[in-house]
Amino acid sequence: MKIVRSLFLSAILVLTAVLTAFASPEAPTDQEVAQAFQEANTVYEWFEHHPLETDGKEKKDTGYMIYYTVADKDYPTMLALKTRVNECFTEALAGFIISDSRMYREFDGRLYVAPSAKALDPRKGTSTINIVRVSPTRINLEISTPIMEDPVHGKTNVLETKKTIFPYVKTLKGWRFSYFESLE
């Protein structure tokens, strides 16, 4: 009986240590939330408007797209890229971001990028962020983005303000965004 109890207590201690290792702060500060948002935005934009830079040393032509080796040494493989995406977004959203993209591929153990991106929307102005603490496990970032008439031709009248909520939720792996979209 003592052996069973000892094993049970040991298992609880190990489980507690594992969960603690993956936990983020119980209540991140507004500054930490804003920093997490900026990091997530950078990573998300790698799949929208600002792909990782290529060194142009090697290319692979798939018949559909031409891919070039990624210059950033922090992301030598698809696994490294997926790991970074999973650090910012929930598992479901990270999986969607990666699977929906044709921009990145791995060939011969190296990460390649098709350096094409979506066009920026010149009508979008500078966004503002409002942090709302909904519960101990959810923080909403309410983002307001002004949509201007035609700034390319000098018409900067704000036609509307687009409001988007970016939920920042506590998961077993720490705080992650469960919804994201481009602000550009």
pLDDT at 3: 41
Within 13 Å and on the Cβ side, how many CA atoms surround 43? 25
Percent of the chain with pLDDT over 70: 85
- In the chain, the number of structural domains is 2
pLDDT at 25: 54
* pLDDT exceeds 50 at position 114: yes
Do 162 and 183 belong to one domain? yes
Positive or negative, the Cα torsion across 4, 10, 16, 19?
negative
- Within a domain: residue 23? no
Q: How confident is the model at residue 100 (pLDDT cuts 50, 70, 90)?
A: confident
Query: Average pLDDT of the chain?
Result: 85
- Within a domain: residue 4? no
Do 129 and 172 belong to one domain? yes
Do 93 and 64 belong to one domain? yes
Task: Of 30-44, 63-77, 148-162, 168-182, give the lowest mean pLDDT range.
Answer: 148-162
* Boundary residue ending a domain (78, 94, 116): 116
Question: What backbone phi and psi angles, to 5 degrees, belong to 17?
Answer: -65, -40
pLDDT at 26: 81
* pLDDT exceeds 90 at position 9: no
What CA–CA distances, in Å, run from 123 to 45, 105, 150? Answer: 18, 32, 6
* pLDDT exceeds 60 at position 162: yes
Residue numbers of the domain that contains 169 = 118-184
Do 60 and 92 belong to one domain? yes
| 69/154: higher pLDDT | 69
- Within a domain: residue 176? yes
* pLDDT exceeds 50 at position 80: yes
Percent of the chain with pLDDT over 90: 63
* pLDDT exceeds 70 at position 69: yes
* Boundary residue ending a domain (101, 116, 131): 116
pLDDT at 94: 96
